């Protein structure tokens, strides 16, 4: 694990908005940061400064109207909503025992009694990595998501409470919402649930988790600025990997959602189409800063089932940024009936595209719900469910565990593999070298070289 760097006041809070109808924007101040100068420039342009990220000279500012921002003469773009991509999920009450040994699911006899439900570990070769002594020890992983259940027995042993933070107003990092389906708990568990003789096991079970809440546990939404804060903070605390199973609501036609309704364009605001390049430049400063300071960035590719090589609609950010690795989702079909079945079909919902996908990883699928036998009763690890359910990804939730599918689930599998790679290298590794090792180890499953489904290949753990 790298030593922490730059413990400066990353976000300079300058007060909340006094105007409930004001609109928020991202302002790229450029150059060396000077708070007094920024305050003066923004005020002279008719706006107010709400907060700044000193390290990248980007501020959250507000203007009374959209037209006021457009005519300000400043490099401002809307503070677009961040959100959890739409997913399918099935709840599970899991207080059932199965029985230890590092064998592959569903016959591992592991004392983490729900491990037999985690087919994704076999798909990425996690168990073989563990047997080779690679378990993620000494690696710090930031989970930029909707917080997590800090008291969960599978998560608590690996969470660094002191470093975990919330960038969502009025929500603590460990507030995980009103029900079991906490997205951040699920992704955190896939990455590094503890191998503690209880419940599930993460891909890198000895990695350290830092929970960085950028999305509300209640609404599943946040804003671009919060995710930028989290990326910069992750770099400042010496995180080795950051997982971002989230998206930003920015469309190529200049529509920005700022209301937390990413799939409804009726309440979007229209900014110049040319502003898209400015938004990517401004937002990308946080990702570039993180990567330059040692953080390997992983993000979900999105769940629209879209060929991203030929899409003119919702952009895939942060996944499309050059500093970020975009992960598509794979899944089996009727794994509950046959654990030897192929687990690497492109999931029915997963985005794809040769120019967009860097790697593929297990994200679960529901194709088998439309197949003969999909609704038959299957029994895995003592749990009886419709067979298609076992093709989902099983992981930790708020006060329990649950199944879910999505590129939100594939990204943390890749993040866990990245943690295993870094751990195998002694716990410190430049992101460029991590990405090179991911490419070297990846299983090339499509056409030779980079392809539209698997990118450089399906991620594989170091053996």
pTM tops 0.85, yes or no = yes
Residue that the structure tokens 């009450």 belong to: 93
Q: Which of 395, 408, 410, 451 is catalytic?
A: 408
Question: Is residue 186 flagged as an active site residue?
Answer: no
Structure tokens of 126?
Answer: 């996690």
Q: Which of 28, 51, 145, 257 is catalytic?
A: 145
Of 54-68, 350-364, 376-390, 408-422, least confident by mean pLDDT is 376-390
Instruction: Tell me the per-residue pLDDT of 88-137, one tens digit each, with 9 for 90 and over.
Output: 443 343 222 222 333 355 655 456 678 999 999 999 999 999 999 999 99
Kindly report the CATH class assigned to 83-441: alpha beta
pLDDT of the residue at 272 = 83
Q: What percent of the chain has pLDDT over 90?
A: 73
pLDDT of the residue at 324 = 98
Could you tell me which residues are beta bridge partners of residue 394? Answer: 403
Instruction: Tell me the per-residue pLDDT of 403-448, one tens digit each, with 9 for 90 and over.
Output: 889 999 999 999 999 999 999 999 999 999 999 999 999 999 988 9
Averaged over 324-343, what is the pLDDT?
Answer: 97
Label the pairing between strands 11-13 and 401-405. Answer: unpaired
Q: Is the dihedral of CA 237, 239, 245, 248 positive or negative?
A: positive
**d(C-alpha 52, C-alpha 307), whole Å:** 36
pLDDT of the residue at 399 = 87
Residue 153 pLDDT level (bands cut at 50, 70, 90): very high
For 133, left (φ over 0), alpha (ψ -120 to 50), or beta? left
pLDDT of the residue at 99 = 26
Q: Which CATH architecture has domain 11-79?
A: 2-Layer Sandwich (3.30)
Cis ω before 318 (30° cut-off from 0)? yes
**d(C-alpha 411, C-alpha 426), whole Å:** 23
pLDDT of the residue at 19 = 60
Q: Report the mean per-residue pLDDT for the chain.
A: 89
Averaged over 333-341, what is the pLDDT?
Answer: 96
* Boundaries of every domain in the chain: 11-79, 83-441
pLDDT of the residue at 381 = 87
Q: Which of 183, 186, 345, 413 is catalytic?
A: 183
pLDDT of the residue at 253 = 85
Instruction: Tell me the per-residue pLDDT of 182-206, one tens digit each, with 9 for 90 and over.
Output: 999 999 999 999 999 889 999 999 9
309 closest CA partner among 284, 290, 324, 326:
326
With beta carbons less than 8 A apart as the criterion, state whether 64 and 21 touch.
yes
**d(C-alpha 108, C-alpha 381), whole Å:** 10
pLDDT of the residue at 54 = 98
Question: Is residue 152 flagged as an active site residue?
Answer: no
């Amino acid at each position: 694990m790298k030593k922490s760097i730059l413990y400066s006041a990353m976000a300079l809070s300058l007060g909340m908005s006094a105007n409930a109808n004001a609109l928020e924007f991202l302002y790229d101040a450029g150059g060396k940061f000077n708070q007094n100068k920024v305050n003066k420039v923004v005020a002279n342009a008719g706006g107010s400064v709400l907060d700044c990220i000193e390290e990248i000279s980007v501020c959250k500012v507000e203007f009374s109207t959209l037209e006021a921002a457009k005519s300000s003469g400043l490099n401002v773009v809307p503070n677009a909503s961040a959100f959890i991509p739409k997913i399918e999920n099935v709840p599970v009450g899991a207080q059932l025992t199965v029985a230890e040994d590092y064998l592959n699911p569903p016959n591992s006899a592991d004392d983490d009694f729900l491990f037999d439900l985690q087919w994704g570990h076999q798909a990425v070769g996690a168990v073989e990595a563990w047997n080779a002594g690679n378990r993620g020890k000494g690696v710090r992983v930031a989970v930029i998501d909707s917080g997590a259940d800090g008291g969960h027995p599978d998560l608590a042993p690996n969470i660094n409470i002191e470093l975990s933070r919330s960038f969502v107003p009025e929500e603590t990092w460990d507030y995980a919402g009103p029900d079991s389906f906490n997205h951040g708990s699920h992704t955190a568990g896939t990455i590094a649930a503890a191998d503690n003789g209880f419940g599930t096991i993460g891909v890198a079970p000895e990695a350290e988790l830092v929970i960085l809440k950028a999305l509300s546990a209640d609404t599943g939404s946040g804003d671009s600025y919060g995710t930028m804060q989290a990326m910069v903070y992750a770099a400042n605390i010496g995180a080795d990997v950051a997982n971002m199973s989230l998206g930003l609501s920015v469309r190529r036609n200049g529509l920005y959602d700022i209301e937390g309704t990413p799939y409804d364009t009726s309440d979007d605001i229209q900014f110049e189409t040319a502003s898209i390049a400015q938004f990517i430049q401004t937002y990308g400063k946080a990702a570039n800063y993180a990567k330059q300071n040692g953080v390997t960035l992983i993000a979900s590719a999105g769940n629209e089932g879209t060929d991203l090589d030929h899409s003119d609609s919702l952009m895939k950010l942060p996944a499309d940024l050059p500093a970020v690795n975009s992960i598509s989702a794979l899944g089996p079909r009727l794994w509950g009936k046959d654990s030897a079945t192929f687990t690497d079909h492109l999931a029915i919902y997963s985005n794809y595209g040769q120019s967009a996908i860097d790697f593929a990883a297990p994200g679960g699928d529901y194709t088998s719900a439309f197949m003969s036998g999909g609704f038959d009763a299957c029994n895995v690890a003592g749990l009886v469910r419709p067979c298609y359910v076992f093709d989902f990804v099983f992981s930790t939730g708020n006060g329990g565990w649950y199944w879910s599918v999505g590129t939100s689930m594939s990204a943390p599998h890749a993040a866990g593999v990245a943690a295993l790679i870094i751990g195998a290298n002694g716990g410190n590794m430049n992101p460029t070298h991590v990405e090179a090792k991911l490419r070297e180890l990846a299983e090339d499953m499509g056409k030779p070289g980079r392809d539209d489904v698997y990118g450089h290949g399906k991620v594989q753990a170091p053996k």
